[in-house]
Every structure is written in structure tokens, then in C-alpha cells.
């Protein structure tokens, strides 16, 4: 264990989409505000430190609901393209988090500012993910409901880690975070920066730097790992809806992971312990971050953010010695 004062001065916190928009809520404005306030309380001790703090967040459940609303009103209101839907979800979620965090800071007599940046992320137009949709978004459905929706809306549906069926869309790898220098400047000034929400708005870059959006949802954890690497951040805190990573999850032989090395987690990943629709992308992001020079990735429950960071709980994946 370690004290909060002993953690690195620069920190990136990635909040999972299912953690800030659980499957058991209707998604009303009141519910979302309450969850944002709870998230702010969990992160307040981190925001009260003299540090550089960057926060990212998922958007899978929310962007999926935006698409569902469009599908239900498609005969009356022209639908938006998926990149614009991502932008809508990014702005809405970040607004709630920004306001909740500033409110929590003011109640604690802190004048620290919080800002959200609408973030574009460049992807490769030839990424094979465009031909192999795999990113689950939106609510869960039964197999029968999924079949009906697939036929009616021409959506590709897939089972998500045994939890139900969801709409899946392309998820290309992030290549470059647009204007990341602005994130760096604001963080160095002491501003809490919320950026890269939902993995970022997916764009491709053409001649002379001209960009345009594409139909995809980038994985938030991969974007978070890339952002942390570019910013030179040593530790990545991934907050989700479970207290620890587990192998043989949901079986009598389930085993929670505490402290584990990069080499060990890679071996478990190869053995197929981490489902592509749930923990898999987080492990992939952790591996990429540590192989790129990061020192530690912590995966824990959103409400146990401080305890995970200090080592009381959570799964701690560390770089191999030598």
C-alpha cells in the first residue's frame, strides 16, 4: 500500500461507459446527474492533490441509446451519422462530469477548474475493423429481441460476454489524438481535463490535414492508453463496474487478480480469459501502455478509485523487471 501523496504527480483516469451508465438504469437526466455526482465524489481526493489530472470516459451505452432514438424517429427526423452521435455523447457525458466535479471541488473549498475538450481521434481508413464490426454499444437484449432489431434496423447484433446481445459497430485503433498539446497545456496549468470521451470522435485525415468523420466507435481504453503514452504519464487508472480483473469469471473457479506482471497478464490473455466485449480491450490497452513505457495499470471499481490507486484493492498490472 501507498499514501495518496506517493502516487505519481501525473495521472490519467479512464472511466468505463458501463460504470457511468449502468445497465440497470433507465437513463433519465436525474439518474445521469446522480451518477455524475457520485463519480465526482469518488474522484474528489484525486482532484484535491497538486497534480496533473486527465480524465477519459466511455460512451457505449449512451451512444447506443442515441442510435436507438434515431431509429425510432427515423421517419420524422433525419438521423445523424455515427461520428456525430459520438460527439453528442462525448459532450453530454463530459458536461455532467465537469459540472459535478466542479461542484464537488467548490463544496470542498477548492478553486480548481475542470474543463471538457471535444476530442477528435484519427484512425486509419483502411483499418480492418471497418469490415469486422466488434464494438458493442447500447443496451442489452435477449437473443430474440436482437434478431428482431437486426432485421428491422439492419443492425449487426452479437452476444456480449454472456451478458446478452448488443448492437456492434466498427472499432478502429486510435492513431493520433488531435490537438493533444492543448490537453497537455491545460493539465500543466492545474486544470482537470476531461478529454477523449467515448474513445474520441473518429476521423480520418486527408491531404493538407483535411479531416472528416467516419462511422465507428473507438475503444476508450485504447485511446486512454495512447493519450497517457503521448503525455508521458506513468500510471493509468481504469475504473469500471468490477473491483478486480478475474479469470474464469462467473464460475465456481473464479479467481480475482491482485498484483500481476505484464508477462503474466499477457499469458492469461492468450489463454482466452478476457472476453472481447468486456475485459479484453482493457487488458489490450494495459499491455500496449506498459510495452510503450508505462509503469503500472490499475483496474478497479469506480466507487473504490482511491483505494485502488493506493493499493488496497484493484488489479495492479506492472511492467516486467529488466
Closest C-alpha to 45, from 319, 312, 316, 317: 312
Q: What secondary structure does DSSP assign to 60-107, as a single string?
A: HHHHHHHHHHHHHTTTTSPPPPHHHHHHHHHHHHHHHHHHHHHHHHHH
Q: Tell me how far CA of residue 187 lies from CA of 47, 54, 105, 231, 249, in angstroms.
A: 12, 7, 16, 10, 37
**Other beta carbons less than 10 A from residue 88's beta carbon:** 17
**Other beta carbons less than 10 A from residue 144's beta carbon:** 9
Distance CA 41, CA 20 (A): 13
Does residue 244 carry a catalytic annotation? no
Does residue 18 carry a catalytic annotation? yes
Residue 153 has, within 13 A of its CA and on its CB side, a CA count of 22
Does residue 220 carry a catalytic annotation? yes
Distance CA 233, CA 10 (A): 6
Catalytic residue among 18, 200, 229, 294: 18
Q: Tell me how far CA of residue 5 lies from CA of 18, 172, 186, 217, in angstroms.
A: 29, 37, 22, 36
Catalytic residue among 17, 58, 138, 196: 17
Does residue 229 carry a catalytic annotation? no
Catalytic residue among 58, 60, 229, 282: 282
Catalytic residue among 220, 229, 280, 314: 220
The DSSP H or E segment spanning 203 is strand 201-205
Angle subtended by helix axes 180-188 and 220-231, to nearest 10: 60
The DSSP H or E segment spanning 239 is strand 235-240
Does residue 33 carry a catalytic annotation? no
Catalytic residue among 58, 59, 64, 135: 135
Closest C-alpha to 17, from 130, 125, 128, 166: 166
Question: Which residues are annotated as catalytic?
Answer: 17-18, 135, 220, 282
Amino acid at each position: 500500500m501507498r499514501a495518496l501523496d506517493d502516487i505519481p504527480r501525473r495521472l490519467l483516469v479512464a472511466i468505463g461507459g458501463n460504470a457511468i451508465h449502468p445497465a440497470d438504469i433507465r437513463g433519465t437526466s436525474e439518474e445521469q446527474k446522480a451518477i455524475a455526482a457520485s463519480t465526482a465524489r469518488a474522484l474528489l481526493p484525486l482532484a484535491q492533490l497538486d497534480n496533473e489530472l486527465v480524465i477519459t470516459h466511455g460512451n457505449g451505452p449512451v451512444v447506443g441509446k442515441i442510435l436507438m432514438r434515431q431509429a425510432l424517429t427515423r421517419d420524422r427526423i433525419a438521423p445523424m451519422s455515427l461520428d456525430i452521435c459520438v460527439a453528442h455523447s462525448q459532450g453530454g457525458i463530459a458536461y455532467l462530469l465537469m459540472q459535478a466535479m466542479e461542484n464537488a471541488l467548490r463544496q470542498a473549498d477548492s478553486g480548481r477548474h475542470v474543463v471538457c475538450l471535444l476530442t477528435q481521434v484519427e484512425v486509419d481508413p483502411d483499418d480492418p475493423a471497418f469490415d469486422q464490426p466488434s464494438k458493442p454499444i447500447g443496451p442489452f437484449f435477449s437473443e430474440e429481441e436482437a434478431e428482431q432489431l437486426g432485421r428491422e434496423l439492419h443492425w449487426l447484433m452479437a452476444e456480449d460476454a454472456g451478458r446478452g446481445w448488443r448492437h456492434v459497430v466498427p472499432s478502429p485503433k486510435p492513431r493520433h489524438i488531435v490537438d493533444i498539446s492543448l490537453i497537455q497545456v491545460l493539465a500543466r496549468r492545474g486544470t482537470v481535463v476531461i478529454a477523449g470521451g467515448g474513445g474520441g470522435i473518429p476521423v480520418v485525415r486527408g491531404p493538407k490535414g483535411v479531416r472528416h468523420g467516419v462511422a465507428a466507435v473507438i475503444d476508450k481504453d485504447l485511446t486512454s492508453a495512447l493519450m497517457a503514452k503521448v503525455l508521458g504519464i506513468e500510471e493509468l487508472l481504469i475504473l469500471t463496474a468490477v473491483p478486480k480483473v478475474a479469470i474464469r469469471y462467473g464460475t465456481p473457479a473464479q479467481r480475482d487478480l491482485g498484483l500481476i506482471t505484464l508477462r503474466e497478464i499477457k499469458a492469461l490473455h492468450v489463454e482466452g480469459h478476457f472476453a472481447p466485449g468486456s475485459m479484453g480491450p482493457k487488458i489490450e490497452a494495459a499491455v500496449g501502455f506498459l510495452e510503450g513505457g508505462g509503469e503500472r495499470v490499475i483496474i478497479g471499481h469506480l466507487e473504490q478509485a482511491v483505494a485502488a490507486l493506493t493499493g488496497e484493492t484493484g488489479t495492479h498490472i506492472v511492467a516486467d523487471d529488466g
